[in-house]
Structure 1
Amino acid sequence: MRALGWIIAAGLVAQPMVSAAAAPAAELRPDQQAFFGLYKELVETNTVVDIGSCTQATAQIAARMKAAGYTDSELIPFSVPDHPKDGGLVAVLKGSDPKAKPMLLLAHIDVVAAKREDWVRDPFKLIEENGFYYGRGTVDDKAMASIWADSMIRFKQSGYKPKRTIKMALTCGEETTYAFNGAEWLAKNKPDLIAAEFALNEGGGGRYNAKGERELLAIQVGEKAAQNFTFTTTNPGGHSSQPVPDNAIYQLADALQAVRAYEFPVKFTDTTRAFFTAVAGAPQTPAPMAAAVKRLLADPKDDEADKIVSLDKAMHSTLRTTCVATLLNAGHAENALPQKATANVNCRIFPGESVDGTLAKLKELAGPKVTVTANQPVRPIGIPPTLDPKIIGPMKTLADKYFPGVPMLPSMSTGATDGIFLEAIGIPTYGAPGVFIESDFSGIHGLNERIRVESLYVGRDYLYDLVKAYAG
């Protein structure tokens, strides 16, 4: 789930654009051709939860890695009996320095469902057209999964000996709340297997403008925690010809209106403070917005400044916990007073805040006639990593080489990734930049998902060099 919270606000901080020309697939280098085979196979393997098989996809990757020289002890497939098709893979390339803590490369290989009748092209066939690769997962998240697996293969084939052990975890279940989640399972059941000083994950990236020019790079440093809550109200009901004020639907509606009207308080992490400071100082930011951001940075309780900044929905969500009604169910007959009404309220909880604290506020807003419960699964709270120069520095140095003139900002995702499970066990997780997507989000989670051919191969080179920079 590439939830790039910065993408809507990106135009406020954009600098001079850098053009990007796509190379035809026919001109691919031999190493790129090998990568393309892995990428194509992964995209064309259906990994929609309950329909396709992540276990098959990871087995195919493991076979390629074994052919490159990895031993059985370095390739650890995993699954559970209840979810045999939702398996994953951990691979390990041992480092030469026992004092250097490992690093972890994380990517999910499951994808959002895609119906053939809705798409222009078959979503599970990789199709190249007009400088783009089309297919479900071409970006989210099979681009990164393929790049990580390909990098591990290239390291082994070239005889590269890292100082730091490099681990890779390809997992299933990120896109579906109720699914078996491989990253969560590893964190809870095999923490030693994935133990690392830090991890690189999805959530960062880059953005093109409408002209196909590189506009902005972002590093994801922290994310919100996604949590669903159920609001329930019950009533004896009765005949609709004799209505009474005590109505389950009205009670639920009043509770949801209270949630709608409430704004959680403004808060900052080091990441969001750095982001908003950059927004306030950018020459492209309109003067009223820049002034409001500066006031809010100085005083998070400045309600007037908050109103101005929050006119941008991405900035509004970056400033606070948000809760919104997403599902409703009420009544049992058209001629009867409702006996029960329920609603799902989806919250994105700001780092450091808890599910219990959010639940307490929702109960207060709903009032005594509405029951509010936290839905399973309950996700960990967001723990933002630090803006560690040892992590940010190499990203910036290589960005200056590969994408000169393109600004790079730290960002907090308003969505959610599997990084939250790693952070819960003490592994700071960063969404790496490098792969650029379109200003319309490249069809991620929607129709006709696509990635520029140029973006995929340049991003592959960038991330390969980035891993080597950290591995020493």
Structure 2
Amino acid sequence: MRALARIGGIGMAAALVLQPGMATAQTLSPDQQRFFDLYKELVETNTTLSSGSCTQASAQIATRLKAVGYTDQDITLFSVPDHPKDGGIVVVLPGRDKALKPMLLLGHLDVVEAKREDWIRDPFKLTEEDGYYYSRGTVDDKGMSAIWADSMIRFKTDGYKPKRTIKLALTCGEETTFAWNGAQWLAANKPDLIAAEFVLNEGGGGRSDAKGKPEVLAIQVGEKAAQNYTFATTNPGGHSSQPVPDNAIYELADAIEAVRGYEFPIKFTDTTRAFFSATAQSAPGPMGDAIKRLLANPNDVEADKIVSRDKTMHSTLRTTCVATLLAAGHAENALPQRATANINCRVFPGETVEATLAKLTELAGPRVKVTMNMPVRPTAVPPPLDPKILGPARAIAAKHFPGVPMLPLMSTGATDGIFFQAIGIPVYGVPGIFVDPDFNGIHGLNERIRVKSLYDGRAYLYDLVKAYAG
């Protein structure tokens, strides 16, 4: 759920919001208790790459689905022999109108690594404390994955017969670039199974203030492509007592400095233009004026300097590349024979990873070898600002979160949605689950979610899916 971090940069737009005081914590209803049982089981099932099993988590969800009437024909559990613990699940609830294309609910079961010695609480035991649920994955992405699975269960137990077929895909491998990726595998090997008119995914959400008052909702409409590159320099080396200017580390450092000093050109999609237009209306003084100038002229260097002081704004405007890993030398008393750096790029929708490679090669210079790391991500395709998607999201939000504005957002991060976009299915990161200004420890220590945020998000997303499904 990396895209939620982007909401942190739109506090200016969120400043428009005033909402009545929030309700106090409530006792769980029987319906909510059933959801909690599913959520707790999922969160407490270790699904890290190092020692966990998404296959186990998928099987547990399948058991719950079968208990309410889903059949083996409705449920597909999948994995591959080389990665037996990285399995996933696809579930289908047939619709009444076969002329309507299905919709797909997407979530990922895997979580970022968490070491017990680093955490205050056991990262794989759900703990309720001070109005929060604590554990790895409480937000990213087991909150939404549990809501999707619970919604499919509720549809069956409520006797709901959707007009449009509803599909659910819960996969593994989203959090680790080099891991086997279930979403990518489904898109490449089982496109008919997950075929849909659109996908609802993580990446949207909402931001609340430090006291839990909702400030702004975001619907993700597009994301960047994440791609890693390697810079490598080599040299015969020698004894460090006789240094020479021809040094692998210096050459690598010069190349990294060139990347640091380069700004990719500003681009706009329909989504980012809408986002900046809304932000410009509420941003104070110089910032608002600078945004308006950039919208009129993306080559306005002075306006760019003002807007790009905000790191979120800066990253939303363009492709970005940054050095993230270094390795050099083989002995403390020897001139380095080899130096390498990882350059992590977030490629703007519509731009290719190959074009980014060409620019990096130009910046690095002839003494540095630049290669594109596997896996190579597909080109990010910006989905349309479709009224059939945005309209219901806003209408349902007005009932659940009255007075809270909703902004379209392009994620500067990346999700598994890119694999579905690559086969022609637009992907939208849904709003509804609010996080705090500090991002709730997602990917870090002591991940948590407000109890109220989880249940409010569950209620909103259930109604949203029904609005789309008919």
Query: If the length of structure 2 is used for normalisation, what is the TM-score?
Result: 0.99
Q: Does 2:197 match 1:211?
A: no
Please show how residues 289-328 of structure 1 align to structure 2 within 5 Å: 289-328=287-326
> Who is 1:93 aligned against?
93
Q: Distance in 2 between matches of 1:461 and 1:298?
A: 40
CA distance in 1, matches of 2:88, 2:413: 23
1:368 maps to 366
Q: 1:17 to 1:448 in 2, by over 3 A?
A: farther
- The match for 1:388 is 386
Runs of 4+ in 1 over 4 A off after TM superposition: none
Are 1:20 and 2:12 an aligned pair?
A: no
Whether contact under 8 Å (1:203, 1:413) holds in the other structure is yes
SS at match of 2:2: coil
After TM superposition, give the deviation of residue 22 of structure 1 in Å: 4.1
SS of structure 1 residue aligned to 2:392: helix
Question: Hey, what does 1:356 align to over in structure 2?
Answer: 354
Give the aligned partner of residue 375 of structure 2: 377
Q: SS of 1:7's equivalent? A: helix
Contact residue 233 and residue 340 of structure 2 kept, 8 A: yes
How big is the shift at 1:239?
Answer: 1.0
Question: How far 1:424 sits from its partner (Å)?
Answer: 0.4
What corresponds to 1:159 in structure 2?
A: 159
User: What CA deviation, in whole Å up to 9, does each residue of 1:55-101 have, x standing for no partner?
Assistant: 00010000000001000010000000000000000000001101000
The offset of 1:6, in angstroms, is 3.0
- Secondary structure (helix, strand or coil) at the match of 1:148 reads helix
SS in 1 for 2:164: coil
Aligned partners of 2:122 and 2:135 also within 8 Å? yes
Q: d(CA) in 1 for partners of 2:177 and 2:24? A: 36
What residue is the counterpart of 1:278 in the other structure? 278
Aligned counterparts, 1:252-271, within 5 A: 252-271=252-271
- Look up the match of 1:196: 196
SS of 2:379's equivalent? Answer: coil
Deviations 1:273-321 (A, max 9, x none): 0000001111xx1210000000000000111100000000000000000
Change (3 A) 1:425 1:149: same
- The match for 1:451 among 449, 455, 460 is 449
- Please state whether the residue corresponding to 2:64 is helix, strand or coil: helix
2:33 is paired with a residue of what secondary structure? Answer: helix
CA distance in 1, matches of 2:372, 2:2: 25
Write the distance in 2 (CA, Å) between the matches of 1:401 and 1:6. 25
Q: Secondary structure at the match of 1:272?
A: helix
Distance of aligned partners of 1:5 and 1:120 in 2 relative to their CA distance in 1, 3 Å threshold: closer
Residues 230 and 340 of structure 2 are in contact (CA less than 8 Å); yes or no, is this contact kept in structure 1? yes
Cα offset, 1:361, TM superposition: 0.2
CA contact (8 A) 2:5 2:439 kept: no
| 1:421 pairs with 2:419 | yes
1:74 aligns with 2:71: no
- 1:11 deviation in Å? 1.3
Distance 1:56 1:176 in 2: 19
User: Alpha-carbon deviation of 1:50?
Assistant: 2.5
Match of 1:230, SS state, is: strand
- Report the TM-score, using the length of structure 1 for normalisation: 0.98
| Deviation at residue 130 of structure 1 after TM alignment | 1.2
Matching of residues 57-206 of structure 1 within 5 Å: 57-206=57-206
The structural deviation recorded for 1:241 is 1.2
- Tell whether the 8 Å contact from 1:20 to 1:454 is kept in structure 2 after alignment: no
- Cα displacement (A) at 1:5: 4.9
**CA offset digits 1:387-423 (Å, max 9, x no partner):** 0000000000011000001110000000000000110
CA–CA separation in structure 2 for the residues paired with 1:110 and 1:235: 41
Q: Secondary structure at the match of 1:106?
A: strand
User: Which of 357-366 and 240-249 deviates more?
Assistant: 240-249
**1:420, 1:372 → 2: CA distance?**
24
Aligned partner of residue 71 in structure 1, secondary structure: coil
CA distance in structure 1 between the partners assigned to 2:207 and 2:377 by the alignment: 29
Structure 1 counterpart of 2:18, which letter? M
Counterpart-to-counterpart distance in 2, 1:148 and 1:375: 33
Asked whether the 8 Å contact 1:22–1:452 carries over to 2, the reply is no
Q: How many residues align?
A: 468
Residue equivalent to 2:333: 335
Question: Does the CA contact (< 8 Å) of 1:105 and 1:199 recur in 2?
Answer: yes
Q: Which blocks of at least 5 consecutive residues in structure 1 are unaligned?
A: none
AA of the residue aligned to 1:145: S
Residues 141 and 122 from structure 1, CA distance in 2 versus in 1: closer, same or farther, beyond 3 angstroms? same
- On the 8 A contact 1:199/1:430 being kept in 2, the answer is yes
Cα contact 2:207–2:214 (8 A) shared by 1: yes
Partner of 2:285: 287
**3-state SS of paired residue (2:92):** strand
CA contact (8 A) 1:222 1:385 kept: yes
Equivalent residue letter for 1:254: D
Q: Is the 8 A contact 1:296 1:306 kept in 2?
A: yes
Q: Is the 8 A contact 2:50 2:113 kept in 1?
A: no
User: Match of 1:462?
Assistant: 460
In the TM superposition, residue 3 of structure 1 has moved relative to its aligned partner by: 2.2
**Displacement of 1:4 after TM fit?**
2.4
Secondary structure of the equivalent of 2:253? helix
Superimposed CA distance per residue, residues 118-159 of structure 1 (whole angstroms, 9 cap, x where no aligned partner): 111111111111111111100000010000000001111111
In 1, distance between residues paired with 2:84 and 2:461? 31
Task: Give the deviation of 1:17 after TM superposition.
Answer: 3.0
Contact 2:4–2:206 (8 Å) recurs in 1: no
Query: Cα–Cα, structure 1 residues 358 and 315, in superposed 2: closer, same or farther, change >3 Å?
Result: same
**Which residue does 2:434 correspond to in 1?**
436
1:334-362 per-residue CA deviation (whole Å, 9 max, x = no partner) reads 11111100000000000000010000000
Cα offset for 1:8? 2.5
Q: Note the alpha carbon deviations across 1:162-186, whole angstroms, 9 max, x for none.
A: 1100000000000000101100000
Aligned partner of 2:398 in structure 1 is 400
| Change in CA separation of 1:458 and 1:103 when aligned onto 2, cut-off 3 Å | same
* 8 Å Cα contact 1:131/1:453 also seen in 2: yes
User: Retained in 2: the 8 A contact 1:221–1:412?
Assistant: yes
